[in-house]
Amino acid sequence: MDLCNKTIGFIFTGVFESFPNTISKIIELKKLNAKIIPIMSFNSYNLCNSLKINTNYINEIEKYTEHKIINNIIDAKSIIKEENIDIMLIAPCSANTLAKLANGIIDTPALVSAHFHLRNEKPLVLAPDVFNGLSDNAENIGKLLNRKNYFFVPFRQNNPITKPRSISFAPEYLIKTLEYALNGEQISPILL
């Protein structure tokens, strides 16, 4: 499915190392004429503001999306009512976010947005960047793979030698995964 004129809720959670990969995908999505609504978890937003890590990610994201980042629960609830969001993407999706989604915990702007979006029977795409994806969080990934309207960007081990349980999504598959998910399909293979 073409992403032209689609509205994408783009949720950022805690893994700062992946922000450059996700910001580059925002630029690509905008070139495809997609509308992007940026949303951040409390931790991501507060740490970006306090640490000013390498660059000012908040300013970059707001510049490229042409939209103020949603960073509180009230705005997260209202954005679902106000905007006709076609698909949501959590990229990067942290271990904490995966665990909370798998266990029904809804306590951040990111999770509130995802929850209300799923209530509308629309697709949610997860791009995991998780240090324990093949250990503690493997169970949560398994739960979510079996749930309706959840889709995964293909992922791989970060470094099988020094970090054998750590996984990261493959940015080159992100846009294709969104297209598949809009058609109700999971892109394969999931594990690269």
For 67, phi and psi rounded to 5 degrees?
Answer: -150, 140
What is the spatial distance between Cα 192 and Cα 169, in angstroms, rounded to a whole number?
9
Question: 7-69+80-89+102-182 maps to which CATH number?
Answer: 3.40.50.1950
Three-state DSSP state, 165: strand
Q: What is the pLDDT of residue 121?
A: 93
User: Tokens 């690509």 correspond to what residue?
Assistant: 28
39 - beta bridge partners? 11, 70
Q: What is the pLDDT of residue 1?
A: 61
Select from 187, 120, 175, 118 the least CA-distant residue to 151: 187
Three-state DSSP state, 106: coil
Distances in Å between the alpha carbon of 60 and those of 64, 86, 136?
A: 6, 23, 33
User: Tokens 């594990």 correspond to what residue?
Assistant: 191
What is the spatial distance between Cα 181 and Cα 152, in angstroms, rounded to a whole number?
9
Strands (E), 69-149: 87-93, 124-130
Select from 136, 145, 143 the least CA-distant residue to 167: 136
How many Cα atoms are found within 13 Å in the side-chain-facing hemisphere of 12? Answer: 33
Is the backbone peptide bond immediately before 38 cis, with ω within 30 degrees of 0?
no
Tokens (6 digits) for 114 = 């995802």
What is the spatial distance between Cα 128 and Cα 51, in angstroms, rounded to a whole number?
23
Helices (H) and strands (E) in the chain, counts: 8, 7
pTM of the model: 0.91
Which residues of the chain are modeled with pLDDT < 50? none
129 - beta bridge partners? 168
Could you state, in order of their start, the residue ranges of all structural domains in the chain?
A: 7-69+80-89+102-182
Tokens (6 digits) for 133 = 């994806």
